[in-house]
Structure 1
Amino acid sequence: MAAVTILWLIAICVGVVGCVLLSTSTWRRYQENPTVISMERDYQEWNTSFPTATLCPRMAPNDRKVQALSAKYWDANNWTLHHPVNLISGNELDGDLFSQIMNMHEPSIVYIHGPNEIPDSAIRHTQLLRNQYKTLDLTGMAIYSTANTHSLSVKQRKCRFLHESNLLISPVYTYNMCRMQCRMQLSYDLCGCVAHFYRPVRKFPICDSEGINCLREHSDSLIKVIDPKTQNKVCDCLPPCDDVNYMIELENDIPWFLGTNIKWGLTKYPQMRLKRDVLFGFTDLLVYIGGTAGLCLGCSVLSFIEIIYFFTIHLFWFVVKGKRLCCVRRMDSR
């Protein structure tokens, strides 16, 4: 009889250990890798967002306009979010889609990026010279996340939506905004201050002349956002969940005596895009853990719930009823 009891105890212990190990592995998969990125090719069923061009003129800025902009947003600590306008988009059936800016007077640096992003000094850019007509033929690769991914945490899906900002300098999240904050932190770590053109944050004081010299000495590290000693990246920014990356397929420059002009657009629409979707959700987690419990212990998730119930709520009411019966017996004995 004792030998049978020992065998049963060993079998139960092996079952519990196996159930815990397999369930832990399943839980880790749900936390670390619940999504999958697949490729879609039905390009006639979707639209591609029109690329945004940001032009940075090489001329000196208008101090009055800069001060007015600073007083309206930065000095007043204004974090107002404006509702997004309808973005321009198109597909193969729309034909070429382009935009142009004409009759400018100064050369500029041109950044091409997504409509929900801002330009960054480290991304690819092109030069627009004076009395030049520049044309840019672009194509893009889009990635989007399905509605199911909203139920996952940021850590699980490894990306952030626009409204999930954790930044000190912006109420919305973008990858380049995150890198900008990393540059501010790196500037503060290296020089004890940040450049004057960043949005004022109490945590980061503005540099004086000595601080500006310090930033100049570390300019390469600040642009690349790397530690100058170890050459390792100091920024751990997550990509946006919905994004479009644009590539310049063809760039053409011709002399133009009627001013400085630029034209950019989509002449070749992408025929594939990436989709992020949930591969292993919470329902799958319950099914896997329940199956593991049934295989190793001959029970289900409901059995664990019953055990928890008996040792918590049921035990509590049992103790309460026991105390009441004791009080009643004492009253009767008197």
Structure 2
Amino acid sequence: MTDEELHHFEDASLLCEPHIHNEGRPITTLNVVDFYKEVAPTLQETLWLCLWQSQNETCVALFNPILSEEGICYTFNMLDRGEIFTNEVYHNKEFQKVNEDSKGWNLENGYEDSENLYSFPKRALTAGAKAGLTIVIKSFIQHQDFICRGPVQGFKVSLHNPGEIPRVGNQFFRAPLNQEIIVAIKPDMITTSSGLKDYDPHRRGCYFAKERQLRYFKEYTQQNCDIECQTNITYSLCGCVSFYMPHGESTPICGSGSNRCVTDAQLKMVSDTSGNFSCDCLPACTTLTYNAETSQAEFNWRDVFIAFNADPDEFPGIQITRLRFLFKEMQFLTSERHELYGMVDFMANVGGLLGLFVGFSFISIIEPFYFLTLRLWVNLKKYGRHYWSASEELLENDTYHHP
């Protein structure tokens, strides 16, 4: 290989399993992202058809490129990088302002009162397939590689809230080739009562949005905190960060020669018991996750081509997958953290118990002594003489009658 080809090979190996190639430069350059953008399939080459709420939309208008541990991915309905990251994060020119402006939307407070139903982030107006998102994705057999990522081919899909960076390599479901997948989504939202704001976050078990400021992210979420923590640990142990991690323009980027160190840093984060790499990434007090139920069937796209008098071999080696995303139900239930016993509840319970015990002590306990002592003595003094006199009279006047 030439030096340029060798550098490209090392950069490409960063997208593969860590054991594939551990040799090479320990530090690479920011040009690695430009290289990925150059060799990756474009959005037009990947997404063939996009429908949003049963309306034809250009995929370019709905999807935007994002950098992940899997390389270049495409995301729908995610906040712009400028609304997610702070000014300390270097923005590659390929990922500059590409999304719509959310005009102040955040997970804790939602949309502004002045926003209408068609504001950004986009929202489905009802449940069911007609109000959802449908995409047709294509791939080619000649583009598949069975060494870099192993024997399973297809697409990885990750569901996340608009303010989070997706962890495509960690949390995903797979969309196989030549299949149609129906994804029925049911949100799971947890909020926190404002009455808990005076509690310590560790006692409460979560952080409110403004309670903890991250270095690289404008809004706190547990996943954003984990990413930042992983970045800090990697930089501390390896002297560099992975290409997909948030970083400054002058921060060194780990090359293939640092693969072992980067893997060790990931293990340190989850297995450290000494407290040296404590992340303290509690959940956010308002969290939104998506539970997905998937079903799939054979996607007979070749028969469809033939039915429309089109040649299915017009695109040699093409593989097509269709995905339908829809909300399963019209409503969903939220859970709320709140205090089990507040100060008012505590005082009310203490007052009730004190009232019970005070009443029992001074009334119920004294009454038996009263009836057995003072009341008995008064009755004997008041009625005792007449009782005995009457008894003696009855005995003197008593006569017995015999048959």
- For normalisation by structure 2, the TM-score amounts to 0.44
Q: Which of 189, 192, 196 is 1:149 aligned to?
A: 196
Tell me the secondary structure at the aligned position of residue 252 of structure 2. coil
SS at match of 1:226: helix
Alignment equivalent of 2:123, drawn from 69, 88, 93: 88
Q: Deviations over 1:8-32 (max 9, x none)?
A: xxxxxxxxxxxxxxxxxxxxxxxxx
Give the C-alpha shift of residue 89 in structure 1.
6.1
How many angstroms apart in 2 are the aligned matches of 1:280 and 1:181?
35
Unaligned 5+ segments in structure 1 are 1-52, 74-79, 292-334
Q: CA deviation at 1:245?
A: 2.9
Query: Does the 8 Å contact 1:175/1:237 carry over to 2?
Result: yes
Whether contact under 8 Å (1:112, 1:246) holds in the other structure is: yes
- Measure, in 2, the Cα distance between the counterparts of 1:99 and 1:55: 21
Q: Which amino acid aligns with 2:325?
A: W
Q: 1:102 is matched with which residue: 106, 126, 135?
A: 135
Partner of 1:303: none
* Residues 60 and 111 of structure 1: CA distance in aligned 2, closer, same or farther (over 3 Å): closer
Alignment of 1:263 with 2:324, yes or no, is yes
Output the CA distance in 2 between the equivalents of 1:55 and 1:141.
Answer: 27
Mapped to 2, the partners of 1:117 and 1:132 lie a distance apart of: 28
Shift of 1:193: 1.8
More helix by share: 1
| Alignment partner of 1:68 is 2:93 | yes
Q: CA deviation at 1:264?
A: 1.8
| 1:252 partnered with 2:273 | no
Cα distance in 2, alignment partners of residues 200 and 275 from structure 1: 35
Q: Does residue 243 in structure 1 map to residue 287 in structure 2?
A: yes
2-structure distance, mates of 1:252, 1:96: 16
Per-residue displacement from partner, 1:199-233 (whole Å, max 9, x unpaired)?
Answer: 2248x9323436633445437627xx324798998
**Which residue of 2 is the match for residue 184 of structure 1?**
231
Alignment size in residue pairs: 224
- Of residues 180, 200, 212 in structure 1, which corresponds to 2:258? 212
Q: Which of 235, 240, 247 is the matching residue for 1:193?
A: 240
Q: For the residues of structure 1 that align with 2:272 and 2:256, how far apart are their CA atoms?
A: 19
**Residues 100/271 of structure 1: CA separation in 2 closer, same or farther (3 Å cut):** closer
For residue 159 of structure 2, give the secondary structure of its aligned residue in structure 1. strand
Offset at 1:237? 0.8
Structure with the greater relative contact order (CA < 8 A, sep ≥ 6): 1 or 2?
A: 1
Per-residue CA deviations over 1:30-85 (Å, capped at 9, x if unaligned) read xxxxxxxxxxxxxxxxxxxxxxx9998978679xxx84245669xxxxxx985223
Moved more, 186-195 or 229-238: 229-238
Query: Separation in 1 of the partners of 2:300 and 2:271?
Result: 44
SS in 1 for 2:225: helix
Contact 2:189–2:289, Cα closer than 8 Å, also in 1: yes
Greater displacement, 108-117 / 181-190: 108-117
**1:226·1:234 contact (CA, 8 Å) conserved in 2?**
no
Deviations 1:101-158 (A, max 9, x none): 3233345310123344332246431122444322112334321123333454534432
The residue aligned with 1:118 is: 165
Q: Relative to structure 1, is the Cα distance of residues 60 and 243 closer, same or farther in structure 2, using a 3 angstrom cutoff?
A: closer
Cα distance 1:72–1:255, how it changes in 2: closer, same or farther (>3 A)?
closer
- After superposition, the CA RMSD in angstroms is 4.5
TM-score calculated relative to the size of structure 1: 0.51
Q: Percent identity?
A: 19
Matches within 5 A, 1:13-92: 67-69=92-94, 82-84=103-105, 85=120, 88=123
* Partners of 1:81 and 1:171 within 8 A in 2: no
The verdict on how the C-alpha distance between 1:282 and 1:160 changes in structure 2, with shifts beyond 3 A counting, is same
Q: How has the CA–CA distance of structure 1 residues 60 and 160 changed in structure 2, closer, same or farther, with 3 Å as cutoff?
A: closer
